[in-house]
Structure 1
Amino acid sequence: MGRPRRERKKAISDDYITFLMEDMNDMGKVEDPTSYKEAIKSENSSKWLVAMEDELKSMGSNDVWDLVEVPDGAKKVGCKWVYKTKYDSKGNVERFKARLVAKGYTQREGIDYKQTFSPVSTKDSFRIIMALVAHYDLELHQMDVKMAFINGDLKENVYMAQPEGFVVEGKEHLACHLKKSIYGLKQA
């Protein structure tokens, strides 16, 4: 009499096929540009330009930086554009989104920033709020704050290069003295 044989489990679950099929639906989607030059040369260049202008308009209305001379000994942090095409639930292009991101990895601790802080909400916090809403029969509303990160004022002097494609003519030597935090900074 032999030993009973255990049934072997598959190394790759059936879910893997589902992921492959979902990925096949993405085949018609266009790759997002990875640089300003790619965005300007793409077939959607006018839409990317509008998205970048919208980003800069938002930053201007929120008084994110001033153009200033960079003091001696100060270092400029670079920046780059990050592009993302947003699709609706049916796979149609909903909008083109451009974000200006600082190259925070070049910042030096103690000079460009003193400490980093990232407030996060935990699942436990969310559960407590949901329990309170259910218990007291309250109404709960969700909102998304556009450009929420710039609500934090910077205490350090951080200078950033002017965004590619939007360097102010005649003021090429100036840099953006950041007054508020932007994506990519250690402080963001």
Structure 2
Amino acid sequence: MKHKSDVFDIFQKYEKLISNKFGKPMKILRTDNGREYCNLEMKRYLEARDIEMVNTAPYTPQQNGKAERDNRTIIESARTMITAKKLPLSLWAEAVGTAVTMLNRVLATVGYQNDSMNYRLYNPQNNKIYISRDVIFNEKSQLRPEIGKEFEYILPTDENEDVAKPVEQQQEEECLEAQEESKNQLGNDRQLRDRTKIHRPIRFEIDFAEYNPPNTFQEAMNSAEVENWADAIQEELDAHEQNETWPIVPRKTDRKPIDSKWVFKIIRDTSGDVYRYKARLCARGFQQKQGLDYTETFSPVLRYDSLRVLLAMVTEQDLELTQFDMTDSSQQKQVKLSSQ
């Protein structure tokens, strides 16, 4: 496949091949969100064939774990074969095909010529691919194009045995065209880089002292940033006073009041520099006892995403919004209404 735009045509052929070969239709196509799959043409074809498309979440390749793992295994196997035997990169497609065959047919009769049990043999002298049924491998042989060493593959010499013969003219021309195109893309003199010359990447380090905010009010008042924390505390108290968060009431002698805790936090910018000191006064509500400090509990049930959508619709359509809360306590009903 030369371009991603070829995916649709190739998929149609593949889908029909699978259906004819196994006598069962394809049911689900699982893909990532690539535009070569997620397009109108592919969608219409799948709907016509009653094939469901299942897409992974964006930037979540692990949902296609099997395909991703197989891709890595195949690529690493092909790269290992080419590196170990010092083969030219023009044989990359052949190496990938060999890796796929080996993975698919381990513990079975192995062949490389489509679904047959024939082998594909490469002759570097004439740059041609040959097909043979019987091959004896010489594991000690090694192709070294840079020094002109002859590539050795041993074929049966018995007259009754089949010997390697060139493929049909059409297949040979297609193979040579593919090799020529690969040469044009990779360059005739391009080789794998020397592994001994690969250096470890440069490590960029930064001197950064981690600063932990104080855990208590006393720690904030005794820290070197006491002025910053004091300003943050005053800002928090002013906000409570302005919003009338609580009313001041007489203390009851038979009740133990709920105490509070200061929570401190520092806010950093994109450069890692501190640009704000933040303080929050939090009541420690977990000290309350049911029946003594409270009788019922309430929690919000509205999703804020839904509220934002509703407010956006009101604004866009110039509607009026009315909100009301209803509480029922001790057989007394209280209703608050507000409108905008």
TM-score under structure 2 length normalisation:
0.29
Structure whose residues are more often helix by fraction: 2
TM-score under structure 1 length normalisation:
0.50
Higher relative contact order (CA 8 A, sep 6+): 1
Structure whose residues are more often strand by fraction: 1
